Structure 1
Amino acid sequence: MEWSAVRRGSRRRLVGSSLLVLAAVSLTGCSSETAGEWKRIAMPPAATEEGTHNLALWQGAWIAAMVTGVITWGLIFYVLWRFRRRSADEVPVQTRYNLPLEIFYTIAPVLMCIVFFTHTVTTENKLLDESKATNTIEVVGQQWSWTFNYGLGERDAAADDFTSVQKSFPYDDYVYEAGTASYIPTIYLPVNVTTRFNLHSPDVIHDFGVPAFHMRMDVVPGRVNHYAVTPTKIGDYDGKCYELCGVSHSRMLFKVKVVSQADYDAYLQKLEDEGQTSETPLLGGEDAYTQAGLEGESE
């Protein structure tokens, strides 16, 4: 009797916990926005062509993990039920090993790793494909703000293939937008145009990324990392540094405006008319603290 009472109490607790979980899920609502978040598994909507590939990998990984979890949980609960103790004095049959099951548990994880690796490499190749890039922006991250250099005139695509910090640049002249301690800069991008970011740092490692683009990359001193994105939606987005880069890391913010090609050209003309021009990109000095508005920040 005592053992039966314990089992009934366990079942009641299990049912109660399940009802609480279902109630919590129901209270989250079922609006279209919430449904979209569930579908994307908490990722923001992809605002670039490249981001859709990253989102698909993210969703696929979670689905595979959930299927694996359901199978594992099912086996656990099946064993708990099938081989449960049916009386206080009963001891279930003890099994030393099960060769088929052990082989399955060895091969299945290996196959899963192969599938995950293959899909990851395929997605990475799509994300880093810059063959369609027709626009280049030299991005500089330094303690603690950003500078964006836009090229004027015809772009020399061959000049993009550099490995040192100042080997060559794809444009003859540049206009720029520089952030300060009290000013968050904005980077403009033309919609449906593939733009390549060449990433420079004069001081420490930063990380340039926009959550809505589903892409980010380290900005490393002494080398030029790069990637390309193709924005598909006109709008305003937020960007930031993802790498802890010093005491004012929280200031490493920037805004993103995806606009039409005509508005993009007009913005570059505005920077040129304001005199923010240079024959080469502004890549920051050896002492990043000399940037306007950041004097004394090193202390």
Structure 2
Amino acid sequence: MRHNRRLRWAAIPIAATLAVVLAGCTQAQLNGFLPGFQADEKPVTNHTSMVSGLWVTSWIVLLVVGIITWGLTIWAIVVYRRRKGQTGLPVQLRYNMPIEIFYTIVPLILVLGFFAFTARDQAEIEKPYAQPDVTINVVAKQWAWDFNYVDEDVYSPGIQAQYPTAENADAQGALVESELPTLYLPVDKKVEIQLNSRDVIHSFWVIDFLYKKDMFPGKTNYMYVTPTREGTYKGKCAELCGEYHSAMLFQVKVVSEAKYQDYIESLKNLGQTGQLDNGFDRNQNLPGIKAPATQEGK
């Protein structure tokens, strides 16, 4: 009884401390310090909170498991340590059925739980939009990005990240951000992103979106996202794709509908109408592509 009473008294200050700590957490801390969250602002996309919730909950569960495991380990070390004057080996036990059942069933429950929640969230994130407001075709290439605005029938070609030279010595920092490929998206609009590669495997990753997807030659992958906060977000290739992989950077600008339409008009004024198709692909012998011309008659 006295032991239980001590535990109850110990639980009160612990619970109070946790309540105070959690109440003082910022929005970023409550979301596991993940990108995509700022104080008093909504998440970057409609999926950001879902990904964050899965991440933070998983860490909390794993931390509890770790504390229990460390506690049991330290307890066994202290309680069953060799005392002064003891010799020989301790009593040997072949097995303990309750403990073996415990450390078989609990990990199985954890694995099934992680799988179920991950599958549920992934199915929601990957659910296609029946009628997207905007369709973008993103094409990766060594080592840059092309953006086709499918509905508006305009395009924006990109070059790999540029660093200051004698010609642009006035550029600030170690990167000329004004020359990065930039994808414009309208805020609060349903966006379908078609992902293709011109050469090797790449990966489309907008860091603050908390989601990425690989891009394979000869195959189209899809992302479905609704940007919910205006701003400029960094993107990069997340799959090692060759010598200048580190320079395969881009930006995503989430803007108002008016600014988005202004950008589309600017592309039309530059004469960048139509679409950059697979005629620029380096792999011209993939399945579904017509066979190379023969040498007969030459």
- TM-score normalised to structure 2 length: 0.74
- Say whether 1:127 aligns with 2:125: yes
Structure 1 residues 33 and 147 mapped into 2: Cα distance closer, same or farther (>3 Å)? farther
8 Å Cα contact 2:129/2:190 also seen in 1 = no
Q: Give 2:220's aligned residue.
A: 224
Structure 1 residues 34 and 100 mapped into 2: Cα distance closer, same or farther (>3 Å)? closer
- Say whether 1:52 aligns with 2:43: no
Q: Give 2:115's aligned residue.
A: 117
The SS at the match of 1:227 is strand
Give how far 1:244 is off: 0.8
Pick the aligned partner of 1:215 from 197, 211, 214: 211
Give how far 1:41 is off: 2.7
- Say whether 1:286 aligns with 2:290: no
Q: Deviations over 1:67-90 (max 9, x none)?
A: 110111111122222222232325
Q: Give 1:141's aligned residue.
A: 140
The SS at the match of 1:209 is strand
8 Å Cα contact 1:188/1:256 also seen in 2 = yes
Q: Which runs of no fewer than 5 residues in structure 1 stay unpaired?
A: 1-29, 154-173, 289-299
Q: CA RMSD in A?
A: 2.2
Give how far 1:37 is off: 4.6
Alpha-carbon distance in structure 2 between the residues aligned to 1:231 and 1:105: 43
Structure 1 residues 40 and 223 mapped into 2: Cα distance closer, same or farther (>3 Å)? same
Mean CA deviation greater in 237-246 or 83-92: 83-92
Structure 1 residues 131 and 228 mapped into 2: Cα distance closer, same or farther (>3 Å)? same
Write out aligned runs for 1:43-192 (5 A): 43-44=34-35, 45=37, 46-89=43-86, 92-131=90-129, 133-152=132-151, 174-181=153-160, 182=162, 183-192=179-188
Pick the aligned partner of 2:201 from 205, 224, 240: 205
The SS at the match of 2:224 is strand
Alpha-carbon distance in structure 1 between the residues aligned to 2:226 and 2:31: 20
Q: Deviations over 1:131-162 (max 9, x none)?
A: 26321100000011101111345xxxxxxxxx
Q: Which runs of no fewer than 5 residues in structure 2 stay unpaired?
A: 1-20, 38-42, 163-178, 284-298
The SS at the match of 2:47 is helix
Alpha-carbon distance in structure 1 between the residues aligned to 2:251 and 2:281: 25
8 Å Cα contact 2:45/2:228 also seen in 1 = yes
The SS at the match of 2:266 is helix
Q: Deviations over 1:225-278 (max 9, x none)?
A: 011111111111100100111111122110111001111111111111221101
Give how far 1:36 is off: 4.6
The SS at the match of 1:277 is coil
Structure 1 residue runs of 4+, over 6 Å off? none
8 Å Cα contact 2:205/2:237 also seen in 1 = yes
- TM-score normalised to structure 1 length: 0.74
- Say whether 1:254 aligns with 2:233: no
Structure 1 residues 152 and 136 mapped into 2: Cα distance closer, same or farther (>3 Å)? closer
Q: Give 2:174's aligned residue.
A: none
- Residue identity over aligned pairs, in percent, reads 41
The SS at the match of 2:280 is coil
Mean CA deviation greater in 178-187 or 34-43: 34-43
Alpha-carbon distance in structure 1 between the residues aligned to 2:24 and 2:278: 41
8 Å Cα contact 2:192/2:224 also seen in 1 = yes
Alpha-carbon distance in structure 2 between the residues aligned to 1:143 and 1:184: 14
Alpha-carbon distance in structure 2 between the residues aligned to 1:176 and 1:36: 37
